[in-house]
Amino acid sequence: MKSVFGDNRIADTLQFFCRNQVVMPGILALKLNVSERTVRNDIRQLNTELKDCAVIEGVQGKYTLHIYDSERFHKVCVRLMEADEFLNSPRNRMDYTFGRLMRSREPLLTDDLAYEMNISRTTLLNDLKKLRAEIEPYRLSILGKTSKGLVLQGWESDIRNYVIENAYGQLYEQYPLDTEITEAVSGIFLENSFDKSVQNAFEQFLTVMLDRFLTGHYIGELSPSFYNLTARPEFAIVARLIRQIEQILRTEFPIEEKLFVLLPIIGMRTPADIQDMHSIVLDDGIRPLMEKMFRQIQLEMDIKIESPEFIEEFLYHLMFMLNRLRFHVQLRNPMLDELKEKYPLAWQIAGVAAGVVHTTYGLDVTEDERGYLASYFGVFLEESGLKRNQPFQVAVVTGTGRITARLVAAQLKKVLDSSVELTLMADEKVSSQILDAYDIIFTTVELPCESSRPVIRIHEIFNEQELRHKIEKTRYWNQVDVPILDNNWFVMVGLLDESRFFILDRSESYEDAVTRMACSLAGSGQVDEGFLDRLHERERKGTMVFDHAVAIPHSVQYAGERLVLAIGVYPAPIRYHDHEIRVIFLLGLPEQISSDDSLLIRVYDEIISITQDTGLLNKITQADSFQALLRALYRWAGERA
C-alpha cells in the first residue's frame, strides 16, 4: 500500500509497520523527521484507531504489528489515508476545525488540535484566520486565550446556517438518517407533490437539526417573525412529519426546531410544475410589491413590464425570495457570472427591483438573489423580442442569373425563420413600388431604384453571423436613420448626428452639462422646451447616474415620435455626489412607450455594454469630433457573436 501524501505521518507510520516486521522508534523517528516521543504518541493513537482488529506491541524497545482481522484492518488503513487526504486541503481543514469547535463542550487547545490533524501550529493558525473571516458575516467568532483554548461563540441558529451553506457535505456526509425517518419524509413529500430538490434540502436541515438537538445544542427562542410561519399550511405538513419522527425516536421537539426544518420549504425555488405552484398559497403583499417594482422600473428606465405568463411565476418567485431573505436561507446561483455578462440590461433592471425590496422591507437582496431576478427579467426581454419578430416578406435581388439567386436563397434559409417567404428577382425587373411591398430587401448589386424598406447589401457568399446582425437591425428601421444597413453592432449610431454630440469642459458640472445639452436640442427643435424641466424633476426623484462613470438622464419629449439620443463626453472625469462621470447619454423618449419598444431596450443594452468595456469607454471620452466618436463606436457585428 503506497501513500500518496507527503506529510501523512499517521498513515506513513502504519505503512512502515506493514513493510517491516520489527520497528525501532529511533529509526522511524529519523525517517519521519520527528522525535521518538512523537512516534510513541502516534503508536498509541494508531492502537486506538485499530481497536481490536490489530495492535502494535512493544517489547524491549522494539515494536511489531499483529493483525487479527485483515478485512477490518484494511478498512482502517483506507479510512486513515482518506482522513489525511481530507486534511491536506485548507478548505477541508477549516470544515474539520469548525466541526470540532461546534461539537466540543470545552475549549480546544491549539496544539492539541494541530496534533490531531497532523499539521503544524502555524498552518492551523493560518486556517483559523481564514475561518474567522468566513464566519464573521454569520455573526460567529472563534475566541482563543493562551493556555485556555479555542471556543466557538454565536447563536445556535447562526451556527446551523453556516453549516448548511458552507460545510454540510464534509460534516454530515457520514451521518445518514435512519431508514424509518427517510421513509416518513419521502411519504410526506410524495403526498404533497414537493419537488425533489426541496426534499433534498429538507433532509439536510432535518439532519442538522437532529444532530444538534439530540446532542444538547438547542436552537432556542427565535425572532417573532418565525412564529408567524405557524399559520402557513406548510407548517402543518412539517408538524405532522415531526410527530412521526418523535414517535420513532421517542422524544419531543419544541416548536422552534419545527420552524427550523420548515425553512427549506418556505424558501424553496419556484416549482417547475405549474400545478404544484398553484397549490401553494400566495402571500397578500406580493402582488403590491411586484407592481411597485414595475412602477419603479418604468420610472427609472422607462421600460414597461407586461407579460401575463411571466407575471404569475414571478409572483411566486418573489414570495420565496422574500422568505429566504427574511429567514437567512442562502440560495447559491451557479449562473451568476454568466447572467451578468449575457444579460447586462436585465441585471440593471434587477438592481432597481432589489432597491424596491430594500426600501419596502429593509432587506438587502444578495447578488445570488439579484441574479435570479435578472434571469426573470432576461426571460421577459427575450420573450418580448420574440413577439416583435413578425415573419418577413423578403426580396432577393441579383444581377448574375437564377443559379446565383438560388445560391443566395439557400444560404438565407439557414439564417431566416422557416416562415419567411423568399422571392427571387432580377435587378432589371425591380421598381420602387415592387420593393416597398417587402419587409427586407437583400441585394448583391446596386439597386436601380430607391426603396423605403431596409436594404441589406450582401455578397453571393456571405458571413452568416454578420447577416443575422443586419437582420436584427431592421427591427429599428422606422426609428433609426440608417439607409443601408452596415455591420456595425451599435444601433445607437443611427440615432446620432453632429448636433447630438457634445465635448464637455471639466469646469462644467454634471447639472450644467445636462442643461447645455438639453437646451441645444430644444433650440434645434429636437426636443420640446419643457424637456429640461422634466429632466430636473426626474433627477430630484432619484439619480440617473449609473455605475462605471456613465450617466443616463432621460425624460419624455414631445417634439417628435422618435427616440432622441445625445452623447456628451468629458475628456477627464468629474465628480457628482459619490459618482465619477465620464460620459452622459441623454435620452429624449417619445410620449408613447410600451413594452414593445425594442429600440429603447437595445440602446440601454448598448450603453451597458460600453460601461463594461474600459477600452471602448476610454476611446469615447477621448473623441474630439463627431467622426472620432463614430470611429470609437464602430464595432464589427462578429465581435458580439
Percentage of the chain with pLDDT > 90? 31
Residue 517 near residue 551, CB atoms below 8 Å: no
In DSSP terms, which residues pair with 586 in a beta bridge? 566
Chain centroid to Cα 322, Å, comes to 17
Place of cell 423618449: 589
Query: Rounded mean pLDDT of 68-86?
Result: 74
3-state secondary structure 570-600: EEEEEEECCEEEEEEEEEEECCCCCCCCHHH
**Taking the CA of residue 520 as centre, how many other CA atoms within 13 Å lie in the half-sphere pointing to its CB?**
18
Query: Rounded mean pLDDT of 304-332?
Result: 83
Specify the pLDDT at position 83.
60
Specify the pLDDT at position 461.
56
Place of cell 447619454: 585
Per-residue b/e over 207-235, b at no fewer than 16 CB within 10 Å? Answer: bbbbbbbeeebebeebeeebeebeebebb
Please determine, for residue 4, whether its predicted confidence score (pLDDT) is greater than 60: no
Residue 437 near residue 423, CB atoms below 8 Å: no
Confidence grade of residue 333 (pLDDT, cut at 50, 70, 90): confident
Please determine, for residue 324, whether its predicted confidence score (pLDDT) is greater than 60: yes
Please determine, for residue 19, whether its predicted confidence score (pLDDT) is greater than 80: no
Would you say the C-alpha torsion 628, 629, 635, 636 has a positive or negative sign? negative
Specify the pLDDT at position 596.
43
Residue 423 near residue 395, CB atoms below 8 Å: yes
- For the chain, the C-alpha Rg in angstroms (whole number) is 34
- C-alpha distances (whole Å) from 236 to each of 271, 328, 358, 514 are 20, 22, 30, 59
Is 442 exposed, middle or buried, given 0-12, 13-18 or 19+ CB atoms closer than 10 A?
buried
In DSSP terms, which residues pair with 514 in a beta bridge? none
Query: Rounded mean pLDDT of 344-366?
Result: 92
More confident call, 55 vs 456: 55
Separation between Cα atoms, residue 384 and residue 23, nearest integer Å? 77
Residue 150 near residue 142, CB atoms below 8 Å: yes
Specify the pLDDT at position 486.
46
Which residue, among 306, 293, 307, 313, has the nearest Cα to 353 in the 3D structure?
A: 293
Query: Rounded mean pLDDT of 91-111?
Result: 90
- Indicate the pairing of strand 455-457 with strand 550-551: unpaired
Please determine, for residue 35, whether its predicted confidence score (pLDDT) is greater than 70: yes
Q: pLDDT, tens digit, for every residue of 293-314?
A: 998 888 888 787 776 667 888 8
Specify the pLDDT at position 391.
54
Which residue, among 74, 36, 39, has the nearest Cα to 54 in the 3D structure?
A: 74
C-alpha cell at 575: 465628480
Is 500 exposed, middle or buried, given 0-12, 13-18 or 19+ CB atoms closer than 10 A?
buried
Place of cell 427571387: 424
Separation between Cα atoms, residue 469 and residue 466, nearest integer Å? 5
Specify the pLDDT at position 107.
92
Q: pLDDT, tens digit, for every residue of 171-199?
A: 887 777 888 999 999 999 888 877 788 88
DSSP three-state, residue 307? coil
Specify the pLDDT at position 184.
93
Residue 563 near residue 492, CB atoms below 8 Å: no
Confidence grade of residue 597 (pLDDT, cut at 50, 70, 90): low
Confidence grade of residue 260 (pLDDT, cut at 50, 70, 90): very high
Kindly report which listed range (48-62, 123-137, 527-541, 586-600) carries the lowest average pLDDT score: 586-600
Specify the pLDDT at position 540.
77
More confident call, 132 vs 596: 132
Query: Rounded mean pLDDT of 76-92?
Result: 72
The helix (H) or strand (E) run that includes residue 46 is: helix 36-50
Most confident region among 106-120, 269-283, 299-313, 536-550 by mean pLDDT: 106-120
Confidence grade of residue 472 (pLDDT, cut at 50, 70, 90): low
Kindly report which listed range (387-391, 426-430, 503-507) carries the lowest average pLDDT score: 387-391
Query: Rounded mean pLDDT of 48-60?
Result: 87
Query: Rounded mean pLDDT of 60-87?
Result: 78
Kindly report which listed range (110-114, 447-451, 633-637) carries the lowest average pLDDT score: 633-637
- C-alpha distances (whole Å) from 525 to each of 520, 559, 626 are 9, 7, 20
Which residue, among 331, 339, 292, 286, has the nearest Cα to 313 in the 3D structure?
A: 286
Q: What rounded mean pLDDT belongs to the chain?
A: 82
Separation between Cα atoms, residue 631 and residue 616, nearest integer Å? 11
